[in-house]
Structure 1
Amino acid sequence: MHLESYLAKRDGVDKLLKISRYATKIILSSSLIPPTHPSHHRLKSFESSVGLSRKAFRLGKFIQDINSFRSAKLDSAHDLILAVIAYGGEGLYYFVEQFVWLAKTGLIDAKQLRTLQKVSAWAELVGYVGSIGLKVRDLKGILEDEASLVSRIEKRKDCVEMEEKLEKLREKKLMKRLSLVQDLADGLMAVADVRDGKGRLTGPMLLASAGMVSAVISTHKNWLSC
Structure 2
Amino acid sequence: MESNTQTKPKSPKNNRDFLIHLEAYLAKRDGVDKLLKISRYATKIILSSDLVPATHPFHRRLKTFESNVGLSRKAFRLGKFIQDINSLRSAKLDTTQNVIIALIAYGGEGVYYFVEQFVWLAKSGLISPTHARVLQRISAWAELIGYVGSVSMKVKELKGISFDERCLLSSIEIAVTRGDDVEPEMERLGKLREKKLMKRLSLVQDVADGLMAVADIRDGKGRLSGPLLMASAGMVSAVISTHKNWLSC
Quick one: distance in 2 between partners of 1:34 and 1:75? 56
Quick one: distance in 2 between partners of 1:111 and 1:26? 29
TM-score for both structures, normalised by structure 1: 0.99
Which one of the candidate residues 73, 84, 87 is aligned to 2:92? 73
Give the match for residue 32 of structure 2: 13
Equivalent position SS for 1:59: coil
Which one of the candidate residues 215, 221, 224 is aligned to 2:244? 221
Matches within 5 A, 1:69-218: 69-157=88-176, 158-218=181-241
TM-score for both structures, normalised by structure 2: 0.90
Which one of the candidate residues 51, 56, 67 is aligned to 2:70? 51
Deviation at 1:112? 1.0
Equivalent position SS for 2:222: coil
Quick one: distance in 2 between partners of 1:72 and 1:175? 19
Q: Which runs of 5+ in 2 are unaligned?
A: 1-19
Equivalent position SS for 1:74: coil
The count of corresponding residues between Structure 1 and Structure 2 is 226
Deviation at 1:74? 2.3
Quick one: distance in 2 between partners of 1:214 and 1:150? 32
Deviation at 1:111? 1.2
Deviation at 1:110? 1.0
Kindly indicate whether residue 50 of structure 2 is the aligned counterpart of residue 31 of structure 1.
yes
Quick one: distance in 1 between partners of 2:77 and 2:197? 27
The RMSD of aligned alpha carbons is 0.6
Q: Which runs of 5+ in 1 are unaligned?
A: none
Q: Report % sequence identity.
A: 76
Tell me which amino acid in the other structure corresponds to 2:224.
L
Quick one: distance in 2 between partners of 1:48 and 1:111? 18
Give the number of the structure whose alpha-carbon radius of gyration is greater.
2
CA deviation vs aligned residue, 1:178-212 (integer Å, no higher than 9, x gap): 00000000000000001111110000000000000
After the TM superposition, list the runs of 4 or more consecutive aligned residues in structure 1 that deviate by more than 6 angstroms. none
Deviation at 1:76? 1.0
